[in-house]
Amino acid sequence: MLRFFISRFAVLIPTFLGVSLIAFSFIRMLPGDPVMLLSGERVMAPERHAQIMHDLGFDRPMYVQYFDYLVKVLHGDLGTSIVTKRPVLGEFLTLFPATLELSLCAIIIAVCLGVPAGVFAAVKRGTWFDQSVMGVALIGYSMPIFWWGLLLIIFFSGYLGWTPVSGRISLMYFFKPVTGFMLIDSLLSGQKGAFASAVSYLILPTIVLATIPLAVIARQTRSAMLEVLGEDYVRTARSKGLKPLRVVGVHALRNAMIPVITTIGLQIGVLLAGAILTETIFSWPGIGKWMVDSVFKRDYAVVQGGLLLIAGVIMLVNLIVDVLYGFINPRIRH
């Protein structure tokens, strides 16, 4: 198992280097001068502009800038924000719990609804239930996040007035964050109604973010279950008189879970990408909105460091998924 883990971990090294190069090059391909954006509407003298470019290191050749950046990253230094003058890693760690809380709630909903829906659709293949589940999954997968989010805001927040429009908790509640997770911090605060307020603000962003992963997981679970249900060992289990619940839940589902776990792992990347749009629509103070604002401000250090950290999270999740393969099916280790 250790050799299996080391082989999977070794693959992450060239991936990390490739991501660092893409993150470094991406922001520099965008039009715009970061120094001029910093100056705002003020007119900057050419000498002053050249001095700031030199201080920030932007006047050096690109390959020199990239090499210096890579050395700093390997030493744990992701740079300092041009706008806020704060370390990128510190800002990321401050905002990441908000994104993680939203993503965890979304993936929990997607898994808890998507896997059972896919299993029942496979068992009831060809029935109205199967066609309904697959039809709803196709619609959910096809809807753009920005359109779906705005539609929910108009209906539930604007027309019905059931849910808040934006933010993480009502301005009526104020407490010092302990964990960064608003649901936990609102409980720890002891303020009456704080937890209910945090939940109400979380509902719409979670639904929007969970829609596409839910559809993908349901369709993948159905496909995997249909393949497994046709295997000889499943027919043998049925011929022995085992209860249908045991045949489906124990014999079939466990073997069908390998592609499903792959899909769930891949959806983590989808969630982090979808969080950029979702957080922007709902003004959710997480890394998605942070990254969007940094792109508009040409904050090189934040965009580079943010992309690298997000990619690191995705690579870590994929590594965990690979290790889970070895536990679910020992043959994969060999």
pLDDT at position 206: 92
- % of the chain beyond a pLDDT of 70: 82
Strand-pairing partners, residue 87, are 80
Q: Is the confidence at residue 90, as pLDDT, over 80? A: yes
Query: In this structure, what token pair is assigned to residue 156?
Result: 């539930």
Closest CA to 199 of 96, 95, 274, 102: 102
Q: What's the pLDDT band for 2 if we cut at 50, 70, 90?
A: low
Q: Which residue has the higher pLDDT, 331 or 26?
A: 26
Query: In this structure, what token pair is assigned to residue 229?
Result: 């249900």
Query: What gap in Å lies between CA 312 and CA 12, rounded to an integer?
Result: 9
pLDDT at position 38: 60
Q: What's the pLDDT band for 325 if we cut at 50, 70, 90?
A: low
Query: What gap in Å lies between CA 149 and CA 151, rounded to an integer?
Result: 5
Query: In this structure, what token pair is assigned to residue 41?
Result: 């509407």
Q: Is the confidence at residue 334, as pLDDT, over 60? A: no
Provide the whole-model pTM.
Answer: 0.77
Q: Is the confidence at residue 233, as pLDDT, over 80? A: no
Name the DSSP letter for residue 153.
I
pLDDT digits (tens, 9 = 90+) for 190-231: 888 888 888 999 999 999 989 988 998 998 888 888 887 777
Q: How far is CA 312 from the centre of its chain?
A: 12
Q: What's the pLDDT band for 56 if we cut at 50, 70, 90?
A: low
Count each helix (H run) and each strand (E run) in the chain, helices first: 14, 0
Q: Which residue has the higher pLDDT, 288 or 239?
A: 288
pLDDT at position 79: 79
Here the contacts of 149-156 (C-beta below 8 Å, separation 24 or greater) are 149/204, 149/205, 149/208, 149/277, 149/278, 149/281, 149/282, 150/281, 152/204, 152/207, 152/208, 153/204, 153/281, 153/282, 156/204
Q: What is the rounded average pLDDT for all residues in the chain?
A: 80
pLDDT at position 136: 86
Query: What gap in Å lies between CA 139 and CA 125, rounded to an integer?
Result: 19
Structural domains of the chain, ranges and CATH numbers in brackets = 1-83+297-334 (no CATH), 97-288 (1.10.3720.10)
Q: Is the confidence at residue 307, as pLDDT, over 60? A: yes
